[in-house]
Structure 1
Amino acid sequence: MEITRGRAVVEATVVEIIARLPLRSIARFKSVCKQWRSLIESSYFRCLFVSLHRNSSSSWSLMFGADYPHPITEAIGFHGCDTWDLPKSLGSYIIPFRLYPNLPTSRYFYVASSNGLIWINAFFNRTENLAYSYKSFVGNPVLQQWVEIPPPPEQSVATGLVTRVENGVVSGFKVVRTVDTGRKMERFMGMYVWRVCVYSSETGLWSFKRLLSSHPVKYTGSYPPVNLNGTLYLRERGLDHPTDEAGFLVAHDFYGPEDDDQCRVIPLLVPDNKHVRRCLTTSGGDVIYIETLHRRLKIWRLNNNFESGECWQLSREEIDMASVGFDVDCFPMAMNPFDTDIVYLWSQQHECLVSGDLRKQEFIVHQESENWSDSGGSWRINTYNSKGYVEDNRNVTRVIMLSQFVLQRWMDSVPRPPN
């Protein structure tokens, strides 16, 4: 009896010690023996780890969408935190791609991300019709776990990646592609039809879904949609003035009820000046809209109460940027995925990134160095490509939408289809 009690004490002590280590170290302990692997993969250990690391952020990056300016490029990267203790930024783990190490880096394209999983396309040789053959993969580049996605059943545009999270663990994912209908817009019962094909990790199969929207969806893949809690938010231009007005978000929950074919159409705030600068992002579990105009910074949060008449709510009082040392307009780029008090801007005046603490109203200009560290972890700023991206999105009709690649606070294995 004393021996059994002694073993229990030792095991509990080991658990307490391991749970205080970063996930990169814990991953190695899983291979020590079956007993440790079973222990580390238990729900008890996961809850203990999350509790002990609740004050530490996870690693994340803001990625440029599509092929701009290079196939896989970060704008901002945060790593080295206590949760994962990564020695380099997340984008550095994508390339070289271990499944095809000899394929040139220019043949890989970042498509989307959701809860630590990313979707990338690898392009190979040209086919007879001069189009490139390619393969799609969803996985976790840090754990180097990948699932190959079979070709879609119809010609379609890569749109987004959504995930199902249960008890803090990613239990499934869906790949969403918009079916290419050319210029023809299908109508049904007075609504516009958005046809998508959806691949599910739970079945390993593609399926078709016809979604109804009061606003047409003409997604071309030129920018990443906002992704939150299984819902994709696609930015679409207006009907009456497609080149000079606010536009809309068309949203659908791909993990909602199977018979739900309705999209939510959310009007964006109408800019009242051609010099306004805008971005869409997420932070703290909310969709966030940021606007700068004449040195005034405003931040809105999407109201998730569908019955309310107000779609957007100011999350705080506007900030006069001149009062914190900025004499010309800044371009909003994103917010910290975890901290709703931290915003990232591009300063034309300084030609560099600015991070701002909205609660303290303190703004830091990151001018010379592209890498720095603080008490929370390490940062990497892509100054050159961020400048080019902002300059290419100066038009008022553009809304900056960087893709967030955020690791979970726990080390999930990539969900795999049954086949």
Structure 2
Amino acid sequence: MTHRELNLIFLPDDLWMSILARLPLKCITTSKLVCKQWKSLVESEIFRGVFLSQQQNTSSSSWSLMWRERQIEFIAQYGCDIPRSLGSYVSSFLADMSQTPKESHKLFPPREKIKTVEVVAYTNVGLILICVKSFSGDRTYYVANPLSQQTVKIPPPFSPPLAGFKREKSFRPAGLATRIKHGVVVSGYKFVCLDTRKVNKGVLSFMIYSSETSSWSFKKVLSPIPLFGFNHRNPVSLNGEIYWTAPNEGGEYDLVGHDFYSESDQYNVIPFPELDLELVERCNRACTISQGFLMYMNIISREFLEELREENRLCVWKLESHTADSGDWQLVARVLIPDGFEYIPLTIHPFDAKIAYLWKREHHSLVSVNLKNYKFVIHKELERRSDNVTIKSISYSGYEFPDPTDEIDQTYFSTFVLTPWLQRIP
């Protein structure tokens, strides 16, 4: 068929949408260059909805579990749309930032002034929050997409200074708040910083940078109950709300959250699921996001003294809803674990809530468990499936794995998820 004959072919928009939506995302992006009709179709909300409706297969979704303290990728799953794991993109991106030659990139400081470059927050929308620290102690923050390498520098807070505001240095990064609709970030993002000096006074003070307004604001939120500390270092963000953990008056840890797109001046304190007195939590209290819900899992032990035995179960809860001081936790799975001390819960598959991942200490191996049929699978360090999906786990190589009994409030892992639809940073 000649080029002239090709131009005579006419197909209605809905048929072109059906054809284009079956292509890999990279090909769809390139198709915008073919003609104005395709460009208009691909950039429409209707096409985005058609594409996302055909991407329900979890095998095509890419995500990684990052070991926060060591900046190491612990688990990775990636499909045919990207040739390598998200963690490798993050590592390459950070290396490029730290090695930027002088004067070659106006966005980054000269490399001789850079002391460290690290990720301080991961998200489930394909964005990361980066802190670049200079030898003089100054910190500069960036929001970045490591795949597209698009980077946005966060301007210094309150320049000129906000009236009556004098303690900027006591604020620490506490997360990125975003909202998603049909797989796309809406309402931009909000970079949230917390005043760490006031967490024990029933008031949380935040500095908030909004990408919509390109400006900083100051917000105080009150607590419905007293808190005695605050773990702000590993935030979990879901649809505008950021969650952390914090100890209460009784020494137990609660889930603390606030919706940064709301006008509320109160933050939510949500107790974790209540357990019977004879039950014991074995591991860190860790939350993750799966299929649009906040999930919590732990290994729960029960001793049977008369029989001289102990029973261990992996328990998984889903937060259905919550108020300012309570949560509706639904127990979705109780899976018998042969030896609770041998396993450490890691995360739940972001796109498939029936798959949980654990680390088996004895064999230094990744284990997945199906929460519906209770099937356990021990994974190799690198597996390639027939559907072109690759699953990779850390090569142990002598890394000292965190002890699950150390500081129950500490969460060591963060999930980084690539949304099915790529977009520019707002």
TM-score normalised by L of structure 2: 0.80
Determine if contact 2:364/2:396 at 8 Å carries over to the other structure. Answer: no
Q: Give the alignment of 1:153-164 within 5 angstroms.
A: 153=158, 154-155=168-169, 156-164=171-179
Mapped to 2, the partners of 1:276 and 1:101 lie a distance apart of 42
Mapped to 2, the partners of 1:398 and 1:309 lie a distance apart of 19
Question: What residue number does 2:75 align with?
Answer: 76
Alpha-carbon RMSD across the aligned residues, in angstroms, is 3.1
Mapped to 2, the partners of 1:106 and 1:59 lie a distance apart of 31
Mapped to 1, the partners of 2:353 and 2:402 lie a distance apart of 22
Higher alpha-carbon deviation: 209-218 or 104-113: 104-113
Question: What residue number does 1:123 align with?
Answer: 132
- Alignment match of 1:251 (pick from 250, 257, 278): 257
Mapped to 1, the partners of 2:327 and 2:189 lie a distance apart of 31
Instruction: Report the alpha carbon displacement of residue 340 of structure 1 after superposing the two structures with TM.
Output: 1.1
Instruction: Report the alpha carbon displacement of residue 17 of structure 1 after superposing the two structures with TM.
Output: 3.1
Distance 1:308 1:123, change over 3 A: closer
Mapped to 1, the partners of 2:30 and 2:280 lie a distance apart of 54
Instruction: Report the alpha carbon displacement of residue 201 of structure 1 after superposing the two structures with TM.
Output: 0.7
- Alignment match of 1:267 (pick from 248, 268, 271): 271
Mapped to 2, the partners of 1:115 and 1:50 lie a distance apart of 16
Mapped to 2, the partners of 1:217 and 1:159 lie a distance apart of 17
Question: What residue number does 1:147 align with?
Answer: 152
Determine if contact 1:195/1:211 at 8 Å carries over to the other structure. Answer: yes
Instruction: Report the alpha carbon displacement of residue 161 of structure 1 after superposing the two structures with TM.
Output: 0.6
Q: Secondary structure at the match of 1:277?
A: coil
1:299 and 2:316 are equivalent in the alignment: yes
- Alignment match of 1:372 (pick from 383, 386, 397): 383
Question: What residue number does 1:334 align with?
Answer: 347
Q: Give the alignment of 1:8-87 within 5 angstroms.
A: 8-9=10-11, 14-56=16-58, 57-65=60-68, 68-69=69-70, 72-81=71-80, 85-87=81-83
Question: What residue number does 1:96 align with?
Answer: 92
AA of the residue aligned to 1:301: K
AA of the residue aligned to 1:20: R
AA of the residue aligned to 1:181: R
Distance 1:296 1:383, change over 3 A: farther
Instruction: Report the alpha carbon displacement of residue 388 of structure 1 after superposing the two structures with TM.
Output: 2.9
1:290 and 2:282 are equivalent in the alignment: no
Instruction: Report the alpha carbon displacement of residue 269 of structure 1 after superposing the two structures with TM.
Output: 4.1
Determine if contact 1:61/1:404 at 8 Å carries over to the other structure. Answer: yes
Q: Secondary structure at the match of 2:350?
A: coil
Question: What residue number does 2:121 align with?
Answer: 112
Higher alpha-carbon deviation: 22-31 or 86-95: 22-31
Q: Secondary structure at the match of 1:224?
A: strand
Mapped to 2, the partners of 1:185 and 1:319 lie a distance apart of 37
Distance 1:217 1:303, change over 3 A: farther
AA of the residue aligned to 1:176: V
Q: Secondary structure at the match of 1:95?
A: helix
Instruction: Report the alpha carbon displacement of residue 27 of structure 1 after superposing the two structures with TM.
Output: 2.4
Distance 1:198 1:55, change over 3 A: same
Distance 1:352 1:111, change over 3 A: same
Mapped to 2, the partners of 1:308 and 1:180 lie a distance apart of 22
Instruction: Report the alpha carbon displacement of residue 343 of structure 1 after superposing the two structures with TM.
Output: 0.3
Question: What residue number does 2:366 align with?
Answer: 353
Distance 1:146 1:35, change over 3 A: farther
Higher alpha-carbon deviation: 371-380 or 10-19: 10-19
Determine if contact 1:277/1:399 at 8 Å carries over to the other structure. Answer: no
Distance 1:309 1:93, change over 3 A: closer
The one-character-per-residue Cα deviations of 1:151-189 (angstroms, maximum 9, x if unpaired) are: 23422111011112244421211110102426x844xxx
Distance 1:95 1:333, change over 3 A: closer
Question: What residue number does 1:198 align with?
Answer: 208
Mapped to 2, the partners of 1:204 and 1:386 lie a distance apart of 45
Q: How many residues align?
A: 382
AA of the residue aligned to 1:261: D
Determine if contact 1:296/1:320 at 8 Å carries over to the other structure. Answer: yes
Percent of counterpart pairs with the same letter? 34
Determine if contact 1:115/1:170 at 8 Å carries over to the other structure. Answer: no
Distance 1:117 1:52, change over 3 A: closer
Determine if contact 1:198/1:208 at 8 Å carries over to the other structure. Answer: yes
Mapped to 2, the partners of 1:383 and 1:106 lie a distance apart of 28
Mapped to 2, the partners of 1:16 and 1:80 lie a distance apart of 21
Question: What residue number does 1:134 align with?
Answer: 139
Question: What residue number does 2:162 align with?
Answer: none
- Alignment match of 2:246 (pick from 227, 236, 243): 236
The one-character-per-residue Cα deviations of 1:198-219 (angstroms, maximum 9, x if unpaired) are: 1111001110010111233744
1:173 and 2:222 are equivalent in the alignment: no
Distance 1:306 1:124, change over 3 A: closer
Mapped to 2, the partners of 1:314 and 1:308 lie a distance apart of 19
TM-score normalised by L of structure 1: 0.81
Question: What residue number does 1:277 align with?
Answer: 283
Distance 1:333 1:34, change over 3 A: same
Distance 1:255 1:7, change over 3 A: farther
Q: Secondary structure at the match of 2:140?
A: strand
AA of the residue aligned to 1:61: S
Determine if contact 1:108/1:120 at 8 Å carries over to the other structure. Answer: no
Determine if contact 1:199/1:206 at 8 Å carries over to the other structure. Answer: yes
Q: Secondary structure at the match of 2:400?
A: helix
Q: Secondary structure at the match of 1:359?
A: coil
Instruction: Report the alpha carbon displacement of residue 351 of structure 1 after superposing the two structures with TM.
Output: 2.2
Higher alpha-carbon deviation: 36-45 or 113-122: 113-122
